[in-house]
Structure 1
Amino acid sequence: MIRIIKKPTDTPDDNSTVMVADALKEKKAEFSYLNIDDIDPFSDEIENDIIWVCGIKQDGIQFEIINALNINNKVVNSPDSIATCASKAQTSARLIKAGVPTPETIFTNSKDRIREFIDIHKKAVYKPVYGYDGNGIYPFSSVEEIKEIPPYYIQEFVENNCDYRVFVIDGEAAGAIKRSSDSFAHNIHQGGTGVPVIDIPDEMADVASKAAHAINIDYCGVDLLPVNDSYTVLEVNGTPNWHCMGVPIPEYLAEYLIRTEKDY
């Protein structure tokens, strides 16, 4: 059985859960919804199922429940990969260890270390460790501009006028968009606009695939910046949206869930 945990941020105009559920219906796949708030994490009532987590609240409780569900079921995405993607520090650690190109990054409590980083790079980007949708991200050229409390996750500033999100399923690039805006952040939730990438360049697909493998995740959104003739990975999203992709991502996800159920 495929079970679905609904995305808490779904709206009538942007309902990721229903899109995939409708695709499952079209394929005659059996599924049901799980209300995560009604689940007893110490019960064995739910076993041997595929549980698709379209999204969870960042309240700690829901994450612990899907972690418990993962003991006797296969959760997609896995709790480990969702937790990794939620932490920019953990994501960077895995990308770097896997040799995936990513901007130079420091994670520190020390403003003196940030000052040394700025002396080298002249300009950097502050990002909340557990931020999402582009919230709280800003460029800076002086450590005095940082008002937040530690720890500090700091990346080198990469000059750009756009970025890309590549949707990866089972290690393969399934769709991509180019995002641009008149401001620093190109994220759709920060006012950016997206257009489909009709033919994903091999290098873009390869870097995105390597990022997904580094996180060991079933599907994800990999955010990239173009650098010379290649790309550098900004972050990996464990519960991504697929705005403007131009390809039927919900159908692809439904097919993946069906395949996973058969193989489980």
Structure 2
Amino acid sequence: MNEVSSLSSMSGLRVAIMTDETGWHTGRLKKAFRARGVEARCVDLASCRIDTSWSPYGLAIPGFARDLPDAVFVRGIAGGTFEQVTLRLGILHALRECGVPVYNDARAIERSVDKSMTSFLLHRAGVATPPAWATESAAFAQRVLMRETAAGRRVVLKPLFGSQGKGLRRLGANAATGALEPLPPLRGYREVAYLQRYVGSARARQQGYDWRVLVIGGHAVAAMRRTGGSGWIHNVARGARCEPAELDPTLASLAERATAALGLDYAGVDLIPDLSAPDQTGLPLVLEVNGVAAWRGLQSVTSVDIAAALVDDLLDRKLAASGTPPLPVVPLHAGR
């Protein structure tokens, strides 16, 4: 399809960018949608509602009157109470039930935001990832910590939900005394222990890096290496530096398989070299998969127009595959 016919076929389409804040990312997305002749507007999921008196869909999306958007791009979901987050995800579920393509949809986001489910699905799909344990039992978590420490390993305690390296604690033998560091109280982790085996060695800590690979529509499109940061945590939000990285077949394949295992349209996949292995081959392991991934750091070190690539995939693959306009609700008593 040439540029003129592509723009013409998309004219009149309206897309909702679901986000709790506007800024650099939403600006890039809106520009990319405009380049395809598509109107995009930002909508806060907290402002949407399920309203069965609101004909014809039973779903009210601000800025779209009684209609629904032709497609939805999920850029951000604000935190809140369990009930608030459940309702916001419910809005995304409802949009899918109405036939609106949602990119990424609620099912995939639920898999990726829950670190325990991410680990389970990666393991089930045979994707190389560190061993992980998730439990409400502090006693079991302490036994895991003791067993891993006895084997000369360490573990990382992470919030089940969370991002940007917040709340991570590395546990094991104290470097100075050799004594086992106790498991911290789980009340700070909402009474759930998610433990992941720490991947590292003296060499790994000196080099201090991991990779972020962006996968769009099933294909790895760009990668960067993150160095430095806050000690052993290499998130950009914690001060890590972004460097260009070669997207070699091993990194690309592993990131693509991880994304497919969680059913994501696009994802930021975090990988780390396994230098703790006896042969220190440095083969990558998948640490986390981000279903609402930021890409500002990656954009600074790649020539790929990431926003344009995301928009093209949504319009040319996801929306084209749906092939149907949103479906109105048909009450059981209709026609009586």
TM-score, reference length from structure 2: 0.72
Question: 2:193, 2:41 → 1: CA distance?
Answer: 41
Q: Structure 1's 6 and 75: CA in aligned 2 closer, same or farther, altered over 3 A? A: closer
Question: Following TM superposition, by how much is the alpha carbon of 1:86 offset from its aligned partner in structure 2, in angstroms?
Answer: 0.8
Which residue of the partner structure matches residue 157 of structure 1?
198
The counterpart of 2:267, out of the listed 185, 207, 220, is 220
Aligned partner of 2:216 in structure 1 is 169
CA distance in structure 2 between the partners assigned to 1:2 and 1:232 by the alignment: 39
Using the TM superposition, name which of 135-144 and 35-44 deviates more.
Answer: 35-44
Which residue of structure 2 lines up, in the alignment, with residue 74 of structure 1? 101
Aligned to 1:144: 182
- Match for residue 239 of structure 1 among 273, 292, 302: 292
Aligned counterpart, 2:311: 254
The CA deviation at 1:208 is 0.2
Alpha-carbon distance between aligned partners in 2 of 1:211 and 1:93, rounded to the nearest angstrom:
11
SS at match of 1:232: strand
Is residue 2:29 matched to residue 1:20? yes
- Is contact 1:194-1:243 (8 Å) kept? no
Measured after TM superposition, the shift of residue 155 of structure 1 is 1.1
**Identity between Structure 1 and Structure 2 (%):** 26
Please identify, of 105-114 and 30-39, the stretch whose mean Cα deviation from structure 2 is larger: 30-39
For 1:89, the aligned partner's letter is S
Match of 1:8 among 17, 20, 23: 20
Aligned-pair CA distance for 1:124: 1.3
How far is 1:4 from its partner?
2.2
Deviations 1:182-236 (A, max 9, x none): 5110000111111122x31110000000000100110010000012252100000
Q: Residues of 2 paired with 1:35 and 1:147: CA distance?
A: 35
Name the structure 2 match of 1:191: 239
CA contact (8 A) 2:14 2:69 kept: no
Unaligned ranges ≥5, structure 1? none
Q: CA RMSD in A?
A: 1.9
Deviation (angstroms), 1:125: 1.0
Q: Quick one: distance in 1 between partners of 2:34 and 2:22? A: 19
Distance 1:9 1:48 in 2: 19
Unaligned 5+ runs, structure 2:
1-12, 58-65, 173-179, 275-280, 323-336
Highest relative contact order (Cα 8 Å, sep 6+), 1 or 2?
Answer: 1
Q: Partners in 1 of 2:223 and 2:169 — Cα distance?
A: 24
Whole-Å Cα distance in 1 between the matches of residues 253 and 247 of structure 2?
10
Tell me the number of residue pairs that the alignment of Structure 1 and Structure 2 aligns. 260
For residues 147 and 215 of structure 1, the distance between their equivalents in structure 2, rounded to whole angstroms, comes to 31
Query: Partners in 2 of 1:33 and 1:6 — Cα distance?
Result: 6
